[in-house]
Structure 1
Amino acid sequence: MLHRNAALTPRARLRLARLIVDEGWPVAQAARRYDVSWRTAKRWTDRYREQGADGMQDRSSRPHRSPARTPQPMVRKVVHLRCKQRLGPVQIGGRLDMPASTVHAVLVRCRLNRLRHIDRTTAEPVRRYEHPHPGAMLHVDVTKYGNIPDGGGWRYVGRFQGRRHRNATAVRTGNRGRNWAPKVGTAFVHTVIDDHSRVAYAEIRDDEKAATAIDVLRNAVAWFTARGVTIERVLSDNGSAYKSFAWRDACHELGITVKKTRPYRPQTNGKVERFHRTLNDGWALARFYNSEQARRKALPAFLHHYNHHRPHTATGGLPPITRLTNVPGQHN
């Protein structure tokens, strides 16, 4: 990339060199024409004679040799201490008898200066990927929330009042658990995320059985199809619903390839896991709901805001729907 005060662009360099080599201009006269020094004009002329038009491009300023560079065995020790023990430059420098500035330079070069660049569990570099087009991969999962009793939950009204609300709701519904304890139930939110666009689809159900997961998948495929997206693969964890033969057969019927994450590795399905945090902060616990019905009624509005209006860092600060084309309501 040219610096801001560069006198010659690659095209101007080529014109300068051709004036001297092809048309026979004196070097000093061509240098005055392009307002550069004689030495600069001579350098580009010599490079044009040796390499032709390809030689007019900028070269890397990286040196061929770096005798004072940190030896590779020492670099490996720095990386080992950083990954295995999460030590900082000062602590690593103290152990290896190196300046902290040198350790920091090594970590920057190895892209380990931030701990978020490595996996917390395995200390391996974080590997990020994105499929090339919408529909190439769907991420599916289920997240659970306790139903909100009538009058509001304990997070907003306090534990004492929340307990009274639970009891009142149990009296109204007759839903009791073990030892006659009040029971308000659980909301199972089945979420579906498109890998490329981050467009989200979600439904609230009363369980996470295979039949329910299959029904949600069919609805999600129909929803994406209406927006011009053809689903090719689906990635899920190793939950019982997704390991069932019914799930496999349903995906085969829909023409979808089944993919599974590594056991005990939720990072493999990280996009939908991250969406669950957004769902938690933006909808489930975002404000006070006086009943479970009120919270469920707010989910479609949140999904519309997430898909159509909320900037997403993975899509260049634009809403996820912008990665789909000709979608009804896209520009509303």
Structure 2
Amino acid sequence: MSKARLVITAVAIEGRTVTEVAQTYQVSRSWIYELLSRYRTEGDAAFEPRSRRPHTSPTAIDQHTIELITGIRKQLTQSGLDAGPDTITWHLRHHHDITVSASTIARTLNRQSLVQPEPKKRPKSSYIRFEAEQPNETWQSDFTHYRLTDGTDTEILTWLDDHSRYALHVSAHPRITGRIVLDTFTQTAGQHAYPASVLTDNGLVYTTRFSGGRGGRNGLETELQRLNILQKNSRPNHPTTCGKVERFQQTMKNWLTAQPNQPVTITELQTLIDAFTAAYNHTRLHRSLERRATPATAYQARPTAGPTADRSIDTHHRVLSDTVDKDGKVSLRLAGRMHHIGIGREHTRTQVLKLVDGLHVRVINAATGELLRDLTMDTTRDYQPLGRPRGPKPRKPRRPDPSSGSGLSGIS
């Protein structure tokens, strides 16, 4: 039973005075008189709790603004672009000269059932955010899949500046290989200078550190070590480390999917990618930059960083087992490229150990420990010769046949 019912019953039915009831239930006399008045007018409805909502809301947004919010949300969503409260706030301020807080827009979108609840989604406050202080201090890279209208699978590779979110390079390929990663990195560096560091996941096109020691460094790892560029890789199963480039790819794929004319060929896909990248870099003010600048503006606003790490002592040691083949050689992969080392046909089918220290290689007999070859690899050549003279061995002069009588006839 509610306190209101007890108070009214004590006064109206038991006949107790208002003062006595007020002291008993620790309420004000004015509230009791208000209850009695409501009871005489409304009957039992007076016992129901009243809404505490104010009669007027002077700060509430008008219907026109609500329609603008929902319209912008629909337009951005159909275009495959971000349509969150912060983005809508920016559009209202810059295109309609209306200032509405992001929290008000969020409540409006919820009331209009335009937001899908995600109760299990991890809150943003739980993430540890980091950002490079200068352009070219860190480049992030990743690739994502995209299917053409004929069902052909393609892969899109991205190089993104961590500080400004500037998309340095975005290109589509049938399949991303280590050679493509190295070539696009070199091409991008030729346009924007070399970065101080590179951050990627642990895909084999970026690093071979989880390949069990087979193959050695790939092409990108070798080039970064040569240029004194620090290489950083995310922890396994921890994609948020490369979150900036992955977020870029998500935005790009949403935009591509929303286009009315879907690409049939890689050339058409690249044309759409170029259009999106140009708008992303030069037109759209980025949320992470507090909507104050485009990625291109932020990239050019500060001096760029460059390689500073001393990786001259960053050697790569490996111990590999092999068997000398029928041609007297063994194989060794360096910088993603296969090389062959001459040992000699007399050692065919011999079990050997290859002791690799950067470019210095020693090949020893696995059974006896005999050193068979000690060399420094020439990475410009596929085959590392033994140094023996090439060509056929010189033929020995034939001995004259006494029975033939040639050459000695007439000599007594």
Q: TM-score, normalised by structure 1?
A: 0.48
Higher relative contact order (CA 8 A, sep 6+): 1
Larger Rg: 2
Q: Which protein has the bigger strand share? A: 2
TM-score by structure 2 length? 0.39
Structure richer in helix, relative to its length = 1
